[in-house]
């Protein structure tokens, strides 16, 4: 698949300070994405994903559903290569790759489910806009099923579906955070699951944190620090939840995990939290 030359629309603006980008109902709250260096001059543009090549390469192009007054990117089937990370290769017999690399199908499926036939915001560094094969390098922001904006590059890295792949010119990526997340995703230890959960909470993705903690506890049932974080998160969710059924589900989850912590180094805290749950409506 040949790469196309990036064409900037006449209305495109270079961002030089933190803020929000809004187009086609897509909004980037830059404060939420601390792992991106927003102070690096960058271009934001909205585009439509019309093809998935593999987990880290997509194509964008015009769509008949463009909103009135919105300019297209000016190019059809432009190849976009994800900045800062690399996923395993799927089979491309025309290039001599006859079998998928391990993990290639999962990464490709995740990317397709996230952005195929959807509009996204591409964030591009004009000083580092093409990779070694001439493809446009970008961070891809999309809206998930809950309506929250996410960075697809980071989501693949965080879930262990991609490896960190930073070059000297990849200045949009906060390299220390990028490398730390890649390391956590690869380690699969109690401390790593805690780190993933806490990072998700920092990003305000509570359900991601819940999922990481649950996966960690299932794998390491005797890890008290991990179970303590999960119990505390269930308790917080129970306090905030308005739906009676969900509130009970979260209270039961908190009670279950605090009970498991009796007799551990968190015995006193667990007994205190259990008592609070018993007397709280």
In this structure, the answer to whether residues 162 and 262 fall within a common structural domain is no
In this structure, the answer to whether residues 167 and 216 fall within a common structural domain is no
Distances (CA, A) of 176 to 31, 162, 217, 231: 17, 16, 27, 30
In a domain, 271, yes or no: yes
In a domain, 150, yes or no: yes
In this structure, the answer to whether residues 128 and 46 fall within a common structural domain is yes
DSSP the chain: ---------TT--EE-S--EEEETTEEEEGGG-TTB-TTS-EEEEEEEEEEEEETTEEEEE--TTPPTTPPP-S-SSEEEEETTEE-PPPPBGGGTB-SPPTTHHHHHHHHHHHHTTSEEEEEE-GGG-B-TTSPEEEEEEEE-TTS-EEEHHHHHHHTTSSEE---TT-TTB-HHHHHHHHHHHHH-SHHHHHHHHHHHHHTT-HHHHHHHHHHHHHH-TT-HHHHHHHHHHHHHHHHH--SHHHHHHHHHHHHHHHHHTTTSTTHHHHHHHHHHHHH--
Distance CA 69, CA 46 (A): 13
Backbone dihedral region for residue 40 (phi beyond 0: left; psi -120 to 50: alpha; all else: beta) = beta
pLDDT value of residue 215? 96
pLDDT value of residue 214? 97
In a domain, 178, yes or no: no
Strands 136-143 and 149-151: antiparallel
Burial, 68: exposed, middle or buried (Cβ in 10 Å; 0-12, 13-18, 19+)? Answer: exposed
In this structure, the answer to whether residues 111 and 210 fall within a common structural domain is no
Angle between helices 224-240 and 244-260 (to 10 degrees): 160
For residue 251, give its domain range.
188-279
pLDDT in tens, the chain (281 residues): 333 222 222 222 233 333 444 445 898 999 999 999 999 999 999 999 999 999 999 999 865 444 433 444 446 789 999 999 999 988 878 777 778 889 999 999 999 999 999 999 999 999 999 987 889 999 999 999 999 999 999 999 999 999 999 999 999 999 999 999 999 999 989 999 999 999 999 999 999 999 999 999 999 999 999 999 999 999 999 999 999 999 999 999 999 999 999 999 999 999 999 999 999 88
pLDDT value of residue 194? 97
Domain count, the chain: 2
In this structure, the answer to whether residues 164 and 221 fall within a common structural domain is no
In this structure, the answer to whether residues 134 and 101 fall within a common structural domain is yes
Is residue 266 within 8 A of residue 224, CB to CB? The reply is yes
């Amino acid at each position: 698949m040949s790469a196309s030359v990036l064409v900037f629309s006449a209305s495109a603006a270079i961002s030089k300070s933190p803020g929000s980008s809004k187009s086609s109902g897509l909004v980037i709250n830059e404060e939420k994405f601390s792992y991106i260096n927003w102070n690096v001059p960058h271009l934001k543009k909205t585009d439509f994903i019309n093809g998935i090549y593999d987990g880290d390469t997509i194509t964008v192009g015009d769509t008949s559903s463009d909103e009135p007054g919105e300019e297209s990117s000016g190019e059809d089937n432009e190849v976009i290569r994800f900045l800062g990370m690399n996923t395993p290769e799927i089979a491309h017999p025309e290039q001599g790759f006859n079998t998928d690399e391990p993990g290639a199908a999962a990464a490709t499926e995740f990317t397709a489910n996230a952005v195929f036939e959807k509009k996204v915001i591409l964030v591009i560094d004009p000083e580092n806009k093409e990779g070694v094969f001439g493809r446009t390098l970008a961070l891809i922001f999309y809206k998930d099923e809950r309506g929250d904006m996410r960075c697809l590059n980071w989501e693949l890295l965080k879930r262990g579906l991609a490896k960190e792949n930073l070059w000297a010119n990849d200045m949009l990526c906060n390299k220390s955070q990028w490398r730390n997340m890649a390391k956590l995703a690869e380690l699969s230890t109690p401390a790593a699951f805690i780190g993933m959960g806490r990072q998700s909470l920092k990003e305000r993705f509570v359900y991601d944190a819940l999922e990481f903690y649950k996966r960690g506890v299932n794998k390491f049932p005797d890890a008290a620090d991990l179970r303590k974080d999960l119990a505390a998160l269930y308790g917080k969710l129970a306090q905030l939840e308005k739906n009676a059924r969900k509130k009970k589900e979260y209270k039961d989850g908190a009670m279950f995990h605090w009970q498991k912590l009796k007799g551990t180094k968190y015995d006193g805290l667990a007994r205190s939290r259990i008592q609070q749950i018993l007397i709280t409506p």
